[in-house]
Structure 1
Amino acid sequence: MIGIIRYGAGNIFSLTAALERLGIAYGMVNTEADLELYDRYIIPGVGHAGAAMRKLEQTGLVPAIKALKKPTLGICVGMQLLTSYSEEGDSNLLDLFPIKTLKFPDTGVFKVPHTGWNQVDVEKESPLFENIPTGSHFYFVHSYFIEYNKLYTLSSTSYINKFSASIWYNNFYGVQFHPEKSGAYGETLLRNFSKI
């Protein structure tokens, strides 16, 4: 069963609606003791990475999250929290991936935030992307991106510049896009995560 980590920075309605639609059982993690109830976790997140990190620190869950050995998926800002640092709020984050979250440059041509469907190129075989062909489209809403590093990149995409659409290291996964808003392939990804 999936434990959704609650820390006040995730609009979880669309996520829980998707899980219910797929028949995937879930519950809420509010305390460290709650972590024991689940066999995998999702860290949701919307908005400002620096503010989200401060809220996460206030829960007292940070050491326990960093020590997790079960499959853990960060979505959008939840993925950014897994990195070492964000330019948004000049913030140190969980540092589970030694890569940074950077602001899209203002080119005067591309709109920021990046909002809409983008093609995602799968770069590694992984259980998260099983039955999802490379070149599939997912739905993005973000002003900051994860710097591309081949070592940790599971899939990539381009908007202004190339960046990691998803990352993977040990039991930690992150997706910049919103699988719960990404149609059939997003649902496949959530279903895949529930089986890892």
Structure 2
Amino acid sequence: MSKQVVLLDYGSGNIRSAERALQRVGADVTVTADFEAACNADGLLVPGVGAFEACMTGLKAVRGDVVVDRRLTGGRPVLGICVGMQILFSRGIEHGVESEGCEQWPGTVERLQPEDAEPVPHMGWNTVEAPDGSALFKGIEDERFYFVHSYGVRTWELTDTRDSVTPLVTWTTYGGDRFVAAVENGPLSATQFHPEKSGDAGAALLENWVRSL
């Protein structure tokens, strides 16, 4: 039986390509902002593109922050992608403006600071440093994934873990600047890169997630 996945439609995100990517790996996908549907699906995918503050405004408008919190309280899986990952952290700082996030993880989303005169945004294919035991990256640890962003989480601040589960943090570097590429923390997972734009490697990652639901 296909897993039921809600792709949260809150006005920010690469909705159609994410929908196709999930369908490609066998998920039964519903694109909606409906509160009950989002709470009750086997899996919830939270996309996100653009500015941190705008994404949070859109998310709160459909009570998406409440959906995420309710699902995680019940141990129900959530996957955030790109800015959909960033808004899971405590705060974002863009152009000197500080905005509150969902506060599922402590930490600050800030502008990348490449040391090697690389341009920002970071746009293109990059490898990642997946930790041992990663379920998301099983079988694709050495693959490349597609990034397009100017901001990221450069310091992992979580000390108290959810339900005594030790988070698995995947890192990558750009121009010598190290930042979080993905997190797996019990039912809550997220990627800074776009799996839906990452070809076969991205499809394999989404398939790993859908199989876990």
TM-score by length of 1: 0.92
**Unmatched tracts of structure 1, length 5 or more:** none
* Rounded Cα–Cα distance in structure 2 between residues aligned with 1:85 and 1:146: 10
Matches of 1:95 and 1:13, distance apart in 2: 27
Alpha-carbon distance between aligned partners in 1 of 2:196 and 2:102, rounded to the nearest angstrom: 24
Displacement of 1:108 in angstroms is 8.0
Note the 1:144-183 alignment, pairs <5 A. 144-149=151-156, 152-160=167-175, 161-183=177-199
Q: Which runs of 5+ in 2 are unaligned?
A: 159-166
Measured after TM superposition, the shift of residue 37 of structure 1 is 4.2
One-letter amino acid of the counterpart of residue 120, structure 1: V
| Distance (whole Å) between structure 1 residues aligned to residue 5 and residue 145 of structure 2 | 22
Distance in 1 (alpha carbons) for counterparts of 2:62 and 2:39:
16
- Which one of 12, 36, 52 corresponds to residue 49 of structure 1? 52
Provide the rounded CA distance (Å) in 2 between the counterparts of 1:139 and 1:193.
18
* Per-residue deviation, residues 137-161 of structure 1 (Å, max 9, x unmatched): 1000000011232864521100131
Aligned residue number for residue 185 of structure 1: 201
Match of 1:5 in 2: 8
The counterpart of 1:84, out of the listed 86, 90, 94, is 90
Once superposed, which parts of structure 1, at least 4 consecutive aligned residues long, lie more than 6 Å away? none
1:74 pairs, out of 75, 80, 84, with 80
Q: Is the Cα–Cα contact under 8 Å of residues 121 and 136 in structure 1 kept in the other structure?
A: no
How many equivalent residue pairs?
195
Give 1:10 deviation, angstroms.
1.0
- Among 19, 23, 36, the residue aligned to 1:16: 19
- Distance in 1 separating the partners of 2:173 and 2:55: 25
Quick one: distance in 2 between partners of 1:60 and 1:24? 24
Task: Give the residue type in structure 2 aligned to 1:194.
Answer: V
Instruction: Kindly state the Cα deviation for residue 128 of structure 1 after the two structures are TM-superposed.
Output: 1.4
2:145 counterpart of 1:130: no
C-alpha contact 1:97 1:169 (8 A) present in aligned 2: no
Q: In the TM superposition, what whole-angstrom CA distance separates every residue of 1:54-96 from its partner, at most 9, and x where no partner exists?
A: 1111112322311212111000000001111111241110000
Deviation at 1:16, TM superposition (A): 1.2
Identity score, percent: 34
SS in 2 for 1:195: helix
Q: Which amino acid aligns with 2:31?
A: M
Q: Give the aligned CA root-mean-square deviation in angstroms.
A: 1.8
Q: Which amino acid aligns with 2:145?
A: F
